[in-house]
Amino acid sequence: MSQQNNIPDYLDNRNFDQTELSNLLSGTSATEHIDENGNQLVDMNTEDLSNNISVVKQNITEFSNNKIEQNYDTSFNELINESDFNNNLMIEDDIKQLSEDQLKREGVLENQLDELSKVLERESHRNIKIQEDAETNYKAMKNVIVEQRIKNGEGVDETDFSDAFPFLPKSETNSNDETSLNPSPYAVEPT
């Protein structure tokens, strides 16, 4: 019986009249001992079921907002503190100032980055110019040396000489280790 009706243990374990208990659980109204002031009288010495059960009635009251607002102000103006409002304005000003400062710092960093990229571009152009000049000088030096070798009768044409310094005739360079000689030592290989 206690499993089916979810009866608390203290009601099931005591020696209550089970017929009265089942009638109460099936919907029969309980009788309470109430005095003239509305207080429930409880006698701990009796095993009477009506002495151990209290009836709690639930009333759902619906309120009409319109009727309440006719008689009472429902806004809470007394809880608004003007100093809090001023503090909020000060906080907003602080946030604006912080964001403006951050934007200024970002602008300075952006200008520095632009300047550094310009410097890098100038340096790379200068390095390329130096490499081009070195290669031009190397080719001019090669032409002078090859011309002198042709005048000395070591070869007839520019193709008779090695491309690597000291631009020896190809018949002599075959015996030497030509792989260690760089034909264009100042030129940078394209990547």
pLDDT in tens, the chain (191 residues): 444 556 666 666 566 677 777 777 777 777 777 888 888 777 777 767 666 677 677 788 888 888 888 888 777 766 666 666 566 677 888 888 999 999 999 999 999 999 999 999 999 888 888 888 888 888 888 888 888 888 888 878 888 877 777 778 877 655 555 445 565 565 555 55
- Which conformational region is residue 153 in: left (phi greater than 0), alpha (psi within -120 to 50 degrees), or beta? left
Q: What is the pLDDT of residue 11?
A: 64
Candidates 145, 175, 176; CA nearest to 161 is 145
Residue 131's CB is within 10 A of a number of other CB atoms, namely 13
Q: Give 45's DSSP letter.
A: T
Residues 6+ apart with CB under 8 A from 185: 138, 165
Q: What is the pLDDT of residue 186?
A: 58
169 φ, ψ (degrees, to nearest 5) = -60, 150
> What phi and psi, each to the nearest 5 degrees, are found at residue 125?
-65, -40
